[in-house]
Amino acid sequence: MATLGMSEADKAAVEVFRRDVVDPSMTHLVIVDFWAEWCGPCKQLAPVIEKIAAEYAAKGVLLVKINVDENRFIASQFRVQSIPTVYAIFQGQPVADLTPARTESQYRQMLDQILSQLPIQSPEKSVAEQIAPLLTMGEEVLSGGEASRALSIFSQIIDMAPGNAEAQAGQLRALIAMGETGEAETIYAELPEELTKTPALARVRSALDLAKDAKPVGNLGALQERLAGDPDDHEARFELAGGLMAQGDNDGAADALLEIIRRNRDWNEGAARTQLLKLFEVVGLEDPWVSAQRRRLSAILFG
Q: Which residues pair with 87 in a beta bridge?
A: 32, 97
Distance CA 21, CA 63 (A): 9
Q: CA angle at residue 51 from 50 to 53, to 5 degrees?
A: 65
Catalytic residue among 14, 29, 30, 42: 42
The catalytically annotated residue of 14, 21, 39, 53 is 39
DSSP secondary structure string, 1-53? ---TT--HHHHHHHHHHIIIIITGGGTSEEEEEEE-TT-HHHHHHHHHHHHHH
Could you tell me which of 239, 189, 234 has the C-alpha nearest to residue 214? 239
CB-based burial label for 19 (10 Å; 0-12, 13-18, 19+): exposed
Longest CA–CA span in the chain (Å) reads: 101
66 DSSP β-pair partners: 34
Q: State the CB neighbour count (10 A cutoff) for residue 46.
A: 15
- The span from the CA of 276 to the CA of 210, in Å, is 9
d(CA 250, CA 247): 8
Does the annotation mark 39 as catalytic? Answer: yes
Q: CB 287: neighbour CB atoms within 10 A?
A: 12
Q: Would you please indicate which residues are annotated as catalytic (active-site) residues?
A: 39, 42
